[in-house]
A and B are shown apart, each in its own frame.
Chain A
């Protein structure tokens, strides 16, 4: 049963990735106050990585970064109000809160110049936006409090901590940002990194970090939202394939082959292992040859995950 679910998920990824790619992605990256030079530098790096990753998926006019003195509550509200007017149901939005957060037992606050931004305010503004595909990533201390504050069906929420009470500086932020450019994050090697993939790699690295330091983990990243596996947030260099008149036939063939492979994978449990791989091999060989032809048509030597 577990295998079947896994395969269906793969199938959904393949189907939905196309849908998602066509919807407009709107990105807002907010960099909070570092407090100390070392944290400010770290946040700068994270923002740069997220900006670079997002730039590969959306146009410059759909990517906004608020940092330094510009990262005020008023400016944030202005962007969100604008989105409430301009975005449609099928549009996607991604908001990254890069910086320290606090939690007083009742309310989460994101630390920015001037008045802080509260979780409740953010929730109200997000609820006013029609977009059904919303991603919020908060990488700092106490960010886990946002899980409850922003909870909504279909909304994907990634936080560095389990709840508001995990108040120490986090490792998750820079590891999540690094995951956006890491081939290792792209576990299905489709050239795109989904929220789920980036989260999985960053969480693993957080775990590895605390184990290597022999310290009790003071952060436990959380992800909620069923569509995290299909919401792409980064694309690896050279992974993009544009459908052209020359390759459209090949891509159609590949979709047909993908279906055959998926059909076989769904039957895996009913076949002896040897028989399964015997049937899988010719299909994979066909797919490999087809992908090579598509790459040749697209002028690419090797793509789709590249060299490990």
Chain B
């Protein structure tokens, strides 16, 4: 039921006032109405309001009355009036304006229908084309382009539509970090706007964004001439701060974004979009209470924004989370860690139902990662790291993007890491320990560069660290990614960010992650890990990838690519040369596996492993081979196979449990403990694994660790509670905490009075009393 209300019912949509009416750039031509609009664009809000009200009583045109109602914030009436106007006489212009109303109230699919209806009536109606492009651009870039191109290139396009198209294209290019192209487009936009005497406020805001992206660190964007120009024209134009703030957000400079959004809502309190983004940025900076305040204010003004609604729901659910601070302190306000910042290096926000079990593991891994990375990056964190773990993936998605449907496992906003809990996915879907390790590397690469590291390098370092220092070591690449590399789909290093930000195919993001990791592996092998810090320093100084590569490696990006490709050939030539046979063996193995055709499984798995011995990801031939050996009563060979698999980073929990059981039966307790511990970083909520690990540790005379495992097992409400308490009592006895041991063993015997091992333990404890 958690998300039952995420899609806002249509009826609610028009129940309250909302979204501001944006600049229409000549899509509306009525002179009286435009006169009122001009007052708005100059920030003369009271005069504009009087002007609109006057029109409301004087104009009989339904279309004008709709525009006026919208301008006055009464979107319900605006919608009804547009509907009535269209019924009276439908025109492409009217349908498009109605579509704009839907777009501004966050209903893109309804808006698109209206734009398309307008284009059916006039396929060249440029404002509808731009409108359609603007609602499609973030999800369906190719379709958006098809709408945008004719407006950009056509000869008889109204200047206002052309201006809107140029602004949209400039924004997209800026988001792609192509500041030169964006600057060109903005220059064209200025010419068009000047010639047609159209408002230029949005041009100024995007120009300020270009400046922001190009300026050295510490530059105060609020002092930009573009900002001053905009405020001189319209002192209440909040977007002059909110639009540049957006570019801080996408370049992960959260705190700078917070400052700009704050200014935006100060000068334009009813800029609800900016207020939502302000709230989201505060949340990313872990300022929970302040974020709620902004979200609540935004909801009052614009209740139709799903991001606001979803975020408020998420904030409500935070009462179900424990905030664990290490070193432990007391008296802090749950939900606000501001007070903790100066006192503690780690804060975990974990769901109450998971915190007792997950907490010790998350803490241990976070502390280890911080120690490793502090040394590796020669950078000491300046603030505590906050790790949030969400048992519901959609909560994590809302935390990250404000909306469900995010395909990520973890995200880092500076010192705040948010990620999926292992319970949010099937056990074979992800290794939570590796995800946390990956995200914590981002904390260092982001913070050590003041968030100037490009996405590809930050991801590359994180992937490299997974392979070299993470809980599961070894280069591990999903099988499908090799196909992309073989097909030459690796991007040039200078363009690698594109693979993350605007992937052209669904698989390109994963390919880019792996490529970035391999580039870091290549750097390590060819130039040494010291170059990582040189690269980070270069990025911190404001260099882009091309300049950083040239500066650090003294070679051109093109030469870097050539050498990287040669590295790839050296590393994977065996695979690339036998790629088809390898793929064929893998699929033969999988087909044979489902029919328990063990002879074929063995043959094809061994052939696949001879080509790619590191194949330990999902569907690994090692696991299939071990099953085949087991299926033919060759347990010793199955064990050897899984030992190799484990050493190479394999982490299938079922396979590892089998291995651990086997190792324990052979008294190889140290090895078994390693295997069982590794399982907990995949699936930490298995009481049996905790129990077995505790038993193993106790045998190894490591009672304190054993006790921790037995406590974790008990927290998971095991069905055999007598055994769980008995184990606890044994660990306590080993720690010479005999009084506690005696109480626990009596609790066992209370439910299982004839439980012989517990009876024996009680007798032993009585003898040492």
Which A residues are within 8 Å of any B CB, using their own CB?
10, 37-38, 41, 183-191, 200-201, 204, 208, 211-215, 258, 261, 265, 277, 280-281, 284-285, 287-289, 291-292, 295, 302-308
Contacts and interface: CB of A to CB of B under 8 A. Distances in A.
A189 B759 CA distance: 11
- Residue picked from A211, A212, A215, most chain B C-beta under 10 Å: A212
Contacts of A184: 688, 718-720, 723
Contacts of A303: 756
Given A187-B721, A188-B751, A306 B756 contact: yes
Contacts of A191: 754
Contacts of B685: 211
Interface in B719-769: 719-723, 726-727, 742-743, 746, 749-760, 762-763, 766
A-B pairs with the 9 shortest C-beta distances? A288-B759, A189-B752, A189-B755, A308-B723, A184-B720, A214-B426, A304-B754, A304-B756, A212-B427
A277 B754 contact: no
Contact of A295 (B424, B723, B756): B756
Given A10-B751, A287-B754, 9 more contacts: A187-B719, A187-B721, A187-B722, A277-B743, A280-B746, A288-B749, A304-B754, A305-B754, A308-B720
A288 B595 CA distance: 52
A213 B746 contact: no
Interface residues of B, number: 40
Contacts of A37: 595-596
Interface string B413-430: 000000000011111010
Contact of A189 (B425, B426, B686, B722): B722
Contacts of A200: 719
Interface in B557-583: none
Contacts of A212: 426-427, 683, 686
A269 B760 CA distance: 27
A214 B742 CA distance: 39
- Identify whether the interface residues of A are mostly helix, strand, loop, or mixed: helix
B750 A280 contact: yes
A39 B337 CA distance: 54
Contacts of A189: 722, 752, 754-756, 758
A296 to B, nearest CB: 12
Interface of B: 423-427, 429, 595-596, 683, 685-686, 688, 691, 695, 718-723, 726-727, 742-743, 746, 749-760, 762-763, 766
B432 to A, nearest CB: 13
A163 B463 CA distance: 48
A191 B757 CA distance: 13
A302 B750 CA distance: 19
Contacts of B752: 187-190, 305
Contacts of B727: 308
Contacts of B759: 284, 287-288, 291-292
Contacts of B746: 277, 280-281, 284
Contacts, number: 111
A201 B720 CA distance: 8
B425 A285 contact: no
Contacts of B742: 281
B116 to A, nearest CB: 37
13 contacts: A184-B688, A184-B718, A184-B719, A185-B720, A187-B719, A187-B720, A189-B755, A215-B426, A291-B759, A292-B763, A304-B754, A308-B695, A308-B720
Contacts of B720: 183-187, 201, 308
A11 to B, nearest CB: 11
B762 A291 contact: no
A302 B756 contact: yes
Nearest to B723: A308
Nearest to B755: A189
B652 to A, nearest CB: 12
Contacts of B726: 308
B719 A261 contact: no
Nearest to B748: A189
A290 to B, nearest CB: 9
Contacts of A302: 756-757, 760
B757 A261 contact: no
A119 B720 CA distance: 34
Contact of B755 (A211, A292, A305): A305
A185 B426 CA distance: 26
Contact of B719 (A188, A204, A285, A304): A204
B756 A187 contact: no
Nearest to A281: B746
Nearest to A179: B719
A284 B719 contact: no
Contacts of A213: 426-427
Contacts of A307: 757
Given A187-B722, A288-B760, A308-B757, A214 B425 contact: yes
Nearest to B759: A288
A4 to B, nearest CB: 14
A38 B596 CA distance: 9
A291 B754 contact: yes
B757 A306 contact: yes
B756 A284 contact: no
Contacts of B760: 288, 292, 302
